[in-house]
Structure 1
Amino acid sequence: MTGVEEAVAGELRLLDPAVRTSRTQAARLLHPDFTEVGASGRRWGRDDMLAALPGMTGADPGGPRHEVSGMTGVQLAPDVVHLTYETVVEGRRARRSSLWRRSPDGVWRLYHHQGTPVPEGTP
Structure 2
Amino acid sequence: MVAGSSGDDPQVSDVIAAEYETLTPECRADPGRLGGFLAPDFHEFGASGAEFGVEGTAERVAAYTDPEGEAIRVERMRGFRLADGLVMVKYTSENNGRRAHRTSLWRRVAPGRWQMFHHQGTPTVDSRTRPD
TM-score, normalised via structure 1 length: 0.89
Structure 2 residues without counterparts, runs of 5 or longer: 1-8
Cα RMSD (Å)? 1.7
Q: Secondary structure at the match of 1:99?
A: strand
Structure with larger Rg? 2
Q: Which of 28, 36, 42 lines up with 1:34 in the alignment? A: 42
Q: Which range moves more in the overlay, 43-52 or 72-81?
A: 43-52
Asked if the contact 2:105–2:116 (Cα under 8 Å) also holds between the matched residues in 1, the reply is: yes
Q: Secondary structure at the match of 1:41?
A: coil
Structure 1 residues without counterparts, runs of 5 or longer: none
Distance 1:62 1:27, change over 3 A: closer
Q: Which of 120, 124, 129 lines up with 1:118 in the alignment? A: 124
Compare the two structures and name the one with the higher helix fraction.
Answer: 1
Q: Find the aligned partners of 1:64 and 1:13 in 2 and give their Cα distance.
A: 13
Q: Secondary structure at the match of 1:47?
A: coil
Give the aligned length.
Answer: 120
- State the Cα distance separating 1:89 from its structure 2 match: 1.6
1:31-82 alpha-carbon deviations (Å, 9 max, x no partner): 11111000001111112212201123xx213434310010011100101000
What's the counterpart of residue 84 of structure 1?
90
Q: Which of 62, 78, 82 lines up with 1:54 in the alignment? A: 62
